[in-house]
């Protein structure tokens, strides 16, 4: 029988990720702060729980995919949190993007109840979440990582163990620095070309053929060319990531 899984946070990323776990045959218990978002998963065979504690009681491996560190802390350690329902030996896999300090602090408190935690943020956007092709960067105990690796491989095409607790989140900050600069560079290049009357499809073709090629050009540039600005990530979330980058940089004295 497959490992029982809990999944909390069924937003633009979490819902397709949870669907992929269901399609892979894992028994799934879900919770979301906005309960109606669980409906598509319940129709697909998942069970609903009334709070994070109940999810933890039903699960051996528990995923969280929410906005920020305070939300992860509340779900993990709050009055109806994971810590009050998970059995010793359970594994919490937090796929949210948080500060490294939050990842370490929450893991330390869970460890006092013999509950393991991995920080495992992702990159790849809603498309990667739907296709199961996310890049997943993992921090925590390597033995625990190897235990849950087959589950992570359902969600991601590139699953990388980075190092001790918090280093998964540190890698995500590095990823966001590079992503931010790529988006800015691509946007400025397109703005210049558009003002000059150059066909943006040709701009993309040329840039992809040389050293300026990037994931952003291959995946997001077509949306810009077609004036498709449907969101895949919120400005507020990117601002949160940038604040975490500045905080980490200040602590490490690299800014």
For the record, the structure tokens of 201 come out as: 């499809």
**Mean pLDDT along residues 214-234:** 90
The one-character DSSP state at 120 is: -
Q: How confident is the model at residue 85, as a pLDDT? A: 98
CA dihedral (235, 238, 240, 241) in degrees, to 10, reads: 180
For the record, the structure tokens of 54 come out as: 């109940």
Which among 246, 8, 234, 6 has a CA at the least distance from the CA of 126? 234
Q: 69 by DSSP, 3-state: which?
A: helix
For the record, the structure tokens of 140 come out as: 């925590």
**Mean pLDDT along residues 31-44:** 95
If residue 115 lies in a helix (H) or strand (E), which one and from where to where?
Answer: none
Domain locations along the chain = 5-164, 171-252
pLDDT band at 67 (very low <50, low <70, confident <90, very high): very high
Looking at the annotation, which residues are catalytic? Answer: 172
- Give yes or no for residue 237 having a pLDDT over 90: no
- Give yes or no for residue 200 having a pLDDT over 80: yes
Tell me the per-residue pLDDT of 128-181, one tens digit each, with 9 for 90 and over.
999 999 999 999 999 999 999 999 999 999 999 999 999 999 999 999 999 999
Q: How confident is the model at residue 255, as a pLDDT? A: 67
Measured N-to-C along each axis, helices 167-195 and 100-111 cross at an angle, to the nearest 10 degrees, of 150
Phi and psi angles of residue 178, each rounded to the nearest 5 degrees, phi first? -65, -40
pTM for the complete prediction?
0.92
Same CATH fold assignment for domains 5-164 and 171-252? no
CATH (residue range 5-164): 3.40.50.720
Which among 148, 157, 151, 95 has a CA at the least distance from the CA of 130? 157
Residue 206 neighbours by CB under 8 Å, 6+ apart? none
Tell me the per-residue pLDDT of 91-111, one tens digit each, with 9 for 90 and over.
999 999 999 999 999 999 999
pLDDT band at 112 (very low <50, low <70, confident <90, very high): very high
Asked which of 4-8, 76-80, 212-216, 232-236 is least confident by mean pLDDT, the reply is: 232-236
Tell me what the pLDDT averaged over the chain comes to: 96
CATH number of the domain at 171-252, out of 3.40.50.720, 3.40.50.2300, 3.60.40.10, 1.10.1040.10? Answer: 1.10.1040.10
Query: Using CB atoms within 10 A of its CB, is residue 227 exposed (0-12), middle (13-18) or buried (19+)?
Result: exposed
């Amino acid at each position: 029988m497959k490992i029982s899984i809990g999944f909390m946070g069924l937003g633009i990323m979490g819902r397709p990720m949870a669907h992929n776990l269901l399609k892979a045959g894992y028994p799934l218990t879900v919770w979301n702060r906005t309960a109606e978002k669980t409906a598509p998963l319940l129709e697909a065979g998942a069970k609903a729980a009334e709070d994070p504690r109940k999810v933890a009681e039903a699960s051996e491996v528990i995923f969280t995919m929410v906005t920020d560190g305070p939300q992860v802390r509340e779900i993990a350690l709050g009055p109806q949190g994971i810590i009050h329902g998970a059995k010793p030996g359970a594994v919490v896999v937090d796929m949210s993007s948080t500060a490294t300090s939050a990842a370490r602090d929450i893991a330390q408190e869970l460890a006092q109840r013999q509950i393991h935690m991995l920080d495992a943020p992702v990159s790849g956007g809603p498309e990667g979440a739907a296709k199961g092709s996310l890049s997943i960067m993992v921090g925590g105990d390597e033995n625990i990582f190897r235990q849950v690796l087959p589950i992570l491989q359902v969600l991601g095409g590139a699953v990388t163990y980075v190092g001790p607790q918090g280093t998964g989140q540190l890698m995500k900050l590095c990823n966001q620095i590079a992503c931010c600069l790529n988006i800015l560079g691509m946007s400025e290049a397109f703005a210049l070309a558009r003002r000059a009357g150059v066909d943006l499809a040709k701009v993309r073709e040329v840039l992809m053929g040389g050293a300026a090629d990037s994931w952003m050009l291959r995946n997001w540039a077509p949306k810009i060319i077609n004036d498709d600005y449907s969101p895949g990530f919120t400005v507020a979330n990117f601002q949160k990531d940038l604040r975490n980058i500045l905080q980490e940089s200040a602590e490490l004295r690299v800014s």
